[in-house]
């Protein structure tokens, strides 16, 4: 029997992503903005030197009116934009997500970034529950040096699978396969045969098929019951190549309530036992975000020097951002954990 309490029926908790609409009175008339004051560059530096006795920046290069050379990322258009006095590029809500520092949303971005940064040359990646927008695939494609690691000529690939319908991608090293149940034998076979070369090898009678070197499964296992979660973990274990690893993230059940779109949130010990029961081991576990009251109480008791820095930084940074910086070091206080897993026999070798 496990030592952790029996979960029982989960009560629903509405998360804080709901939009709130408030009515406000008309703003006061805008105060006229005074014209900017322009100082000669030499005069500005003389004022700095007079205040502290030295030039903190050292010698700066002369200003130039020559246009800067443009830089392009992997999926940017190759042609330059025409001559213009102002560039009208704007941050769009639908491109950059919620324009607020919500801890859960920030943690989502950091999880994709963590998986992105862990990619090695020749990586064969399976993204379980990749989502209709496939953010991990887009992140890889955004930077040429990362995209090169999963291109076919390097021996790599990216395969995204999801229970929902997915639109095909025109990225030549990537596949998106929708309506896939990764708890089933059919889902396992679809993921296995998506690896370049495996279909031909099977048709030629070769039973030694290649597996994935990295399986990413972010915020998926809580959307199904325990038995289906166990089947998912088994399939991911069997899809790993020798030396492969799984990056898994999921909320930590706090014994009080769970998000209304979750079927089963796990206690830490509960999930660890399930992981070990299918022949996987935990190599690393980190928190992704926590609440400000919890983290402040912990810092006050254990790291008062951190608390002083936290409070100083709080004037500008949000609680969601700062708590996420400390959460990886205190996973037991975190509301969400990221787990790095390997097959048990390889961890023991």
- Confidence at 242, pLDDT banded by 50, 70, 90: very high
Residue 58, burial from CB neighbour count under 10 angstroms (0-12, 13-18, 19+): exposed
pLDDT for residue 8 is more than 50: no
pLDDT for residue 23 is more than 50: no
Residue 266 DSSP class: B
Poorest-confidence range of 61-65, 109-113, 143-147, 226-230? Answer: 61-65
283 compared with 256, residue with greater pLDDT: 283
pLDDT for residue 34 is more than 60: no
What digits encode the pLDDT tens for the residues 173-215?
999 999 999 999 999 999 999 999 998 888 888 878 999 999 9
For residue 129, give both structure tokens.
């529950």
Q: Under DSSP, is residue 347 helix (H, G, I), strand (E, B) or coil?
A: helix
- Please name the helix (run of DSSP H) or strand (run of DSSP E) that holds residue 311, with its range, or none: helix 304-313
At residue 323, the pLDDT reads 86
> 103: Cβ–Cβ under 8 A, 6 or more apart, which residues?
289, 290, 291, 319, 320, 321, 323, 324, 335
Q: What is the 3-state secondary structure (H, E, C) of 180-222?
A: CCCCCHHHHHHHHHCCCCHHHHHHCCCCCCCCEEEEEEECCHH
pLDDT for residue 26 is more than 80: no
pLDDT for residue 297 is more than 60: yes
d(CA 232, CA 278): 10
What digits encode the pLDDT tens for the residues 302-314?
999 999 999 999 9
Beta-strand ranges (E) seen in the chain are 12-13, 124-128, 157-161, 174-177, 212-218, 240-251, 258-259, 280-289, 336-343
**Nearest-10 Cα torsion for 150, 152, 154, 160:** 20
- Confidence at 103, pLDDT banded by 50, 70, 90: confident
Q: What is the 3-state secondary structure (H, E, C) of 74-85?
A: CCCCCCCCCCCC
pLDDT for residue 40 is more than 70: no
Q: What percent of the chain stands above pLDDT 90?
A: 53
- 243 - beta bridge partners? none
pLDDT for residue 115 is more than 70: yes
At residue 211, the pLDDT reads 95
pLDDT for residue 97 is more than 50: no
Handedness of CA 222, 225, 227, 231 (dihedral sign): negative
- Confidence at 16, pLDDT banded by 50, 70, 90: very low
Poorest-confidence range of 18-22, 116-120, 219-223? Answer: 18-22
- The answer to whether 231 and 183 are in contact (CB under 8 A) is yes
> 325: Cβ–Cβ under 8 A, 6 or more apart, which residues?
none
At residue 257, the pLDDT reads 81
Q: Under DSSP, is residue 231 helix (H, G, I), strand (E, B) or coil?
A: helix
């Amino acid at each position: 029997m496990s030592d952790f309490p029996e979960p029982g029926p989960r009560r629903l908790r509405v998360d804080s992503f709901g939009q709130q609409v408030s009515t406000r009175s008309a703003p006061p008339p805008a105060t006229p903005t005074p014209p900017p004051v322009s100082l000669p560059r030499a005069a500005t530096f003389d004022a700095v030197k007079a205040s502290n006795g030295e030039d903190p920046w050292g010698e700066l290069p002369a200003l130039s009116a020559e246009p800067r050379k443009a830089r392009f990322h992997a999926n940017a258009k190759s042609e330059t934009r025409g001559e213009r006095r102002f560039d009208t590029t704007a941050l769009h809500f639908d491109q950059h997500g919620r324009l607020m520092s919500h801890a859960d949303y920030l943690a989502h971005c950091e999880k994709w970034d963590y998986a992105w940064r862990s990619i090695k040359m020749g990586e064969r990646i399976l993204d379980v529950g990749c989502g209709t927008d496939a953010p991990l695939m887009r992140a890889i494609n955004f930077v040429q040096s990362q995209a090169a690691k999963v291109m076919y000529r390097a021996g790599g690939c990216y395969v995204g699978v999801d229970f929902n319908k997915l639109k095909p991608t025109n990225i030549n090293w990537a596949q998106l396969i929708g309506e896939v149940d990764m708890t089933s034998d059919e889902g396992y076979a679809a993921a296995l045969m998506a690896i370049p070369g495996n279909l031909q090898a099977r048709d030629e009678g070769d039973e030694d098929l290649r597996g994935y070197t990295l399986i990413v499964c972010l915020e998926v296992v809580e959307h199904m019951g325990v038995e289906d979660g166990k089947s998912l973990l088994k399939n991911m274990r069997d899809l790993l190549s020798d030396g492969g690893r799984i990056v898994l993230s999921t909320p930590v059940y706090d014994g009080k309530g769970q998000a209304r779109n979750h079927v089963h949130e796990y206690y830490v010990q509960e999930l660890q036992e399930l992981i070990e029961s299918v022949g996987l081991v935990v190599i690393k576990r980190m928190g992704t975000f926590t609440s400000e009251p919890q983290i402040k109480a912990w810092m006050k008791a254990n790291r008062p020097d951190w608390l002083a820095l936290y409070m100083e930084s709080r004037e500008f940074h949000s609680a969601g951002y700062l708590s996420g910086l400390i959460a990886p070091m205190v996973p037991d206080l975190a509301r969400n954990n990221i787990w790095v897993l390997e097959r048990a026999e390889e961890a023991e070798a």
